Amino acid sequence: MQDTLPSPAEVTAGVVPDVARHRETVSAVLARRDPRLLVIVGPCSVHDPDGALEYAGLLAGAAARYSDDLVVVLRAYLEKPRSVTGWTGFLPDPTLDGKGDLAAGVRLGRRFLLEAAGMGLPLAYEFVDPVLAPYVADTVSWGAIGARTVASQPHRQLASWLPMPVGMKNCVSGRVGPAVDAIRAAGAAHVFPGLGVDGRMKTLRSTGNPDAHLVLRGGLVPNYDAESVAGAVGLLGEAGLPRRVVVDAAHGNSGKDHDRQPGVVGEVARQIRDGGPVVGVMIESYLLDGAQDPERVPALRGVSRTDPCLGWERTVPLLEELAVARRGR
């Protein structure tokens, strides 16, 4: 059975406010032309656009308060990578019931991204399926290639073509080498097939992405400590790449335990105060603490349906801590 998807041109109407400026700001932070700290924060994966927009409103207020020290970017992830099976995100399954109404997902997901961007926040997005990138890429100011796809040639080629900074996560095992290779590959020019805005396959020609960078997300063991960060920076230096890293406080670095994220942020804040090479931090955060049973119907509002997140009230002190650390750098 086949369903016809709308072309990207049919769903990408609407001007995304300030996206070019946001991309340049993120690029400047990564290059240390801007002394502020990049903080990418928000739900593991958006399952309820209304709840996520409520969160975005809170985050926009905090972003304004800490704007002297932090460049705050909203996690607006609409695809969810899976090691085996499970809900694959709002874009492919917006009704959360396995029906896979992708046509509705790209329309509803696009509406959410435009409304979130309209609050003044830069948006972050993990590009899971390269075919879907044209439906969302023009709204995104910071992109990610995840731990499960960082060694994939199509994802590296996509990163070389995307017009925004892209973070390459270390492998699920914790290996950093493939992510360093991905940064090198994304920095080069490529010719590869991709979906055009008219819905037809095209030959895409990239010139390379100078803002690809490393994200440490832990693995079998965490890698946010100073020694692990130094080791990763050493690998970047050996490859002739900029010595900069973003640290993910969730995933392997927290053992997917949201209660451990504040400890990760605290250690990274110490490194920042000491002048270390960390240029950004990622935090999984939502309206309320924890996660809910993904089979629950109806889903609870404000609680993550995927990885457990820190609630908003516990997130604000971490933003304050990072702002203070940035000032002390």
pTM recorded for the entire structure: 0.97
pLDDT (mean) for 256-271: 98
Nearest to 157 by CA among 199, 214, 211, 208: 208
> Do the strands 212-216 and 166-169 form a parallel or antiparallel pair, or are they unpaired?
parallel
Q: Please name the residue that has the structure tokens 């203070």.
A: 324
- In this prediction, residue 1 carries a pLDDT of 60
Q: Is the model's pLDDT at 111 over the cut of 90?
A: yes
What are the sequence ranges of the domains in the chain? 20-328
pLDDT (mean) for 182-207: 96
d(CA 33, CA 257): 34
Question: Is residue 137 helix, strand or coil?
Answer: helix
Q: Is the model's pLDDT at 217 over the cut of 90?
A: yes
**Domain 20-328 - what CATH class?**
alpha beta
pLDDT (mean) for 45-64: 98
Q: Long-range CB contacts (< 8 A, 24+ apart) of 265-269?
A: 265/318, 265/321, 265/322, 266/321, 267/224, 267/225, 267/226, 268/224, 269/321, 269/322, 269/324, 269/325
d(CA 171, CA 248): 13
Nearest to 91 by CA among 1, 14, 5, 202: 5
pLDDT digits (tens, 9 = 90+) for 83-105: 888 999 999 999 998 899 999 99
